[in-house]
Chains A and B, each alone.
Chain A
């Protein structure tokens, strides 16, 4: 397992959304799906198969781990997940990369746009 967050980039959209949804706090699978839909304003919807395929991969990579359920949630079917420090580093690195992409895209669009507006 590489320790360098850069080696995990670029993240796939599903991976990025899952890590983002877990950045705010521990969530169970359905909570992650709902948070991803909320973040993308309904444009990106994860199915359970895609979600758990990515969660399995992220857990194997040490970016996500199981978390104890919060007090009051005793439904054994719900399993909670959380970001590891490594996962948070990878997410930060991806956000920095995306910021660079957006900055560059804005620059090019401004140059190539007929009116000069973005």
Chain B
């Protein structure tokens, strides 16, 4: 059962990674499962997020997020339509007569609150998505402007330890860059050329 679940988890990885490493990862899972499967599943989930969020070209992720937003939006609109139909039927069955009863007013108030919250949520979600995609494009353009990078990134520092900045910190000034290690501190020093 756990093997099937882990296989399913591997199947969710990007195709290129899956083709190259899924077989070996499944074999390791079988070997290491007797010591406990929980850490393996946690690592698998982290790997899934890392492969899609950090290692895949941004457009794939953007397409996935847009698809998710469309689904959520459709679900939200469906919910609104359902609520509207439900409320209409209820109001038709018991038409409001002036003055409206407190229960009717409360129901209408709740309905309006729901509409406002859903609308605000959708607006925030779309705004965040647009902002995020724009920042991704901006970073990509910056990288292109800075010239070719020998190292794509630094990878992860361990289970759950994601590291920004890559294996070498890099500064670009005037089209030149240089990286070295400080002899005294051991930390990477950035030399502006």
List the interface of chain A (C-beta within 8 A of B): 1-2, 6-15, 28-30, 33, 44-57, 60-61, 77-79, 97-98, 100-101, 104-105
Instruction: Using CB atoms, name the residue of chain A closest to B17.
Output: A56
Q: What number of residue pairs across chains A and B have CB atoms under 8 A from each other?
A: 136
How far is it, in angstroms, between the C-alpha of A101 and the C-alpha of B184 when the chains are bound?
A: 7
Q: Fill in one digit per residue for B155-167: 1 if any A CB lies within 8 Å of its CB, else 0.
A: 1111101010001
Interface centre among B50, B55, B168, B186 (most CB of A within 10 A): B186
Interface residue total, chain B, C-beta cutoff 8 A: 46
- Tell me, in angstroms, the Cα distance from A1 to B180 when the chains sit together: 16
Interface of A is mostly: helix
- Known A-B contacts A6-B179, A13-B158, A49-B46; the reply to A30 vs B28 at CB < 8 A is yes
**Would A56 and B21 count as touching, CB distance under 8 A?**
yes
Q: Is the CB of B150 within 8 A of A53?
A: no
8 contacts between A and B (CB under 8 A): A7-B179, A8-B151, A8-B168, A14-B155, A29-B27, A47-B42, A50-B46, A57-B155
A18 to B25, CA, bound (A): 16
Q: Are B153 and A57 within 8 A (Cβ)? A: yes
Q: In the complex, are the beta carbons of A50 and B158 less than 8 A apart? A: yes
In-complex Cβ contact of B167 among A1, A10, A28, A79 (8 A): A10
- CB pair A7–B156 under 8 Å, yes or no, is no
Question: B143 CB to closest chain A CB, in angstroms?
Answer: 16
Contact residues in A for B31 (Cβ distance below 8 Å): 30
15 new A-B contacts, CB < 8 A, other than A28-B24, A47-B40, A55-B21, are: A6-B180, A8-B151, A9-B179, A9-B188, A12-B155, A14-B155, A29-B28, A30-B31, A44-B158, A45-B159, A47-B42, A47-B159, A49-B44, A61-B152, A101-B186
